Amino acid sequence: MRGPHNVLRLIRTGATLERTGAMNDVLDALDAPPALRAAAKTLGWPFKWLGFRGDPSLPPVTRALTAMGPAYIKFGQILSTRPDVVGDDLAQQLRVLQDKLPPFTVEAARTSITQALGRPADEIFAEISPPVAAASIAQVHKARVRETGETVAVKVLRPGIERAFRQDIDAFYFAARAIELISPSSRRLRPMEVIRHFEGVVMGELDLRLESAAASEFAANTKDDDGFQLPEIKWHLSDRRVMTMGWAEGVPLGDNAALDAAGHDRVALSERVLQLFLSHALRDGFFHADMHPGNLKVAPSGDIIAYDFGIMGHIDEYTRRVYAEILFGFIRRDYQRVAKVHFEAGYVPADRDVDEFARALRAVGEPIFGMDATRISMAKLLSYLFEVTERFGMETRTELILLQRTMVVVEGVARALNPRMNIWEVAHPIVEDYIRGSLGPRAFAGDLARTAQVLARFGPRLPALVENALLAEAGRNADPAPDKGRKSRWAYLATGLLAGFATAAVLLPLF
């Protein structure tokens, strides 16, 4: 870590925050203690003239991050998914962060394509358009494949972006360590963990093969979804720095006038986009976590097309079941069951009072259900729910925060299409179907079958495991100073495996 280099970048960052008027907003959002405020002002105010001016038409924090370049823009986008760190107000401001930068030239893109694919770009593509979108990490060109004549979208990383990001991430780590040193109380915000999370996300986005893989997995999961399309990944024309996929031809989902002119049913589209998101999150546990209108189009057939798979969300099956039970409990206004689910899942410490927690949940749910149906907001419900669970000692779960953040975006897209949409009415069949499929007898049989499959892999080792366990127990019993009351871990394992096989043998024929 290069100290002088990072000190200079830190000074430039503080100066830009001060010059754009963002410094106080950031410090207030972080609830910074006096020592940290004093250090930030020391780095900012005397060097204010060194800061970037930015676009005065933007809000202060957005203006500052945009002025400081790609890494800061991406950092702001990721922080927008962490209201637990920056607070709801700043997270809301960061959600509208402009992700548009001056594009690099078509010639530079051709050079990158040639280097990545090992053939001259002009041999691969008959045409490459000027950039149609330029973001913090990459830009997109419309192109035509010379061999087939197919129109495709080619995403190309910015030249030198990897080195630039590594330098900025290095500076971010330096800043996080400095914050922890100057203000120990700030460690509750886990600044080093936040930077590690940022680094993991960015390093993934800097390898377009991973985005291609995410798109391919998403396509496999959703291939049977009616009214939904994904552009096909062209693996033979993709690499670490270049990703090629089919061109998505359609009307932007956020352009109501164009949708009406094309004869699309906006009410049906609003319901479909919400139900698709819930299906992907609950059924698959793998969802598009950046479903703003700029990443969605409507095909001439009326299908919704999604693209840009740089940010995807993942939820394990157990968490999906818990989440669905919580939603379904709220839909049925069964607050006692919602409270018990939180305790059963271990989300709320066992020493808290379940009845008191149920009353707190009722205080969240009843005012929302008292609203006109068209004003009920699932995203707002989840936001209130997180506030209550935090009061009762629930630890932050980043996967649920990303889910809630995406829910806010999707709900906004749906209501922009149909302001009178009844969110609960649309969500109810999806959540109910998932509950029926994941918590009924068939789901139990599936769980048992998967458990038996895992146990079966140990089958060839079972005799040796049991023999070793018995020998270990015999050795312990022969020991003049035995550790009474404690079984060998192998004995526990062998007993558990045998019990598992016995249970599977008895119960599987019943299903």
Catalytic residues, by residue number, are 290
Provide the terminal-to-terminal Cα distance of the chain, rounded to the nearest Å. 60
DSSP for 443-511, please give it.
HHHHHHHHHHHHHHTTGGGHHHHHHHHHHHHHHHHHSSS--TT---HHHHHHHHHHHHHHHHHHHGGG-
Task: Note the helical H segments in 20-105.
Answer: 23-29, 34-44, 60-68, 70-79, 83-86, 88-95
Task: Note the helical H segments in 280-353.
Answer: 317-332, 335-344
Identify residue 259 by its one-letter amino acid code.
Answer: L
Residue 333 CA, distance from chain mean position: 28
* SS3 label, residue 126: strand
Rounded-to-integer distance, Cα 275 and Cα 283, Å: 11
**Environment class of 477 (CB within 10 Å of its CB; exposed 0-12, middle 13-18, buried 19+):** exposed
Which DSSP symbol is given to 125?
A: E
Helix (H) or strand (E) holding 309: none
Rounded-to-integer distance, Cα 285 and Cα 315, Å: 5
